[in-house]
Amino acid sequence: MLALVFLGLAEIWDDFNLILKIFVLMTIYSWVKNHVGSTLIGWVIFAAVAFFVLFDMWRFFGTVYVMWMLLMFGISQIIIDFFFVTPRPGQEMESPVGTGLDVTKRRQDVAHMQQGFAQRFMKR
């Protein structure tokens, strides 16, 4: 029974690996087409990079690609929230817009800055 579970996980991993390679291949194609174009040199660069990334260095590049995608899909937001947004000990977490007074004050400040800019501009 345990062997069947491991065989199932191996098949799932192989499928995931294939899907990931397809996404990487599309990313490489998009990058080469946008930066080099669809010329002969573009196709040569695409083939060389695709072979190098997908077959020769896949263990390294696949790991880096998965980590990069996880970072891009929100892990970085969790880290930022945890380290920078959470209150320090003894502080109380406030709502970004508590009563609306801070928004009103910001609007007044912006209106004052715009009015001052218009007056300075007209004096020239």
Does the structure show a pLDDT above 70 at 2? Answer: no
- Determine the Cα–Cα distance for residues 75 and 77; give it in Å rounded to an integer: 5
CA distance 60 to 20: 13
pTM of the model: 0.49
pLDDT band, very low/low/confident/very high, at 40 (cuts 50, 70, 90): very high
Q: Over the stretch 68-100, which tens digit does the pLDDT of each residue have?
A: 877 777 777 777 766 666 666 665 665 555 566
**Which amino acid, one-letter code, is at 59?**
R
Burial pattern 78-102, b for ≥16 Cβ within 10 A else e, equals eeeeeeeeeeeeeeeeeeeeeeeee
pLDDT at 4 over 70: no
Split at pLDDT 50, 70, 90, the class of 44 is very high
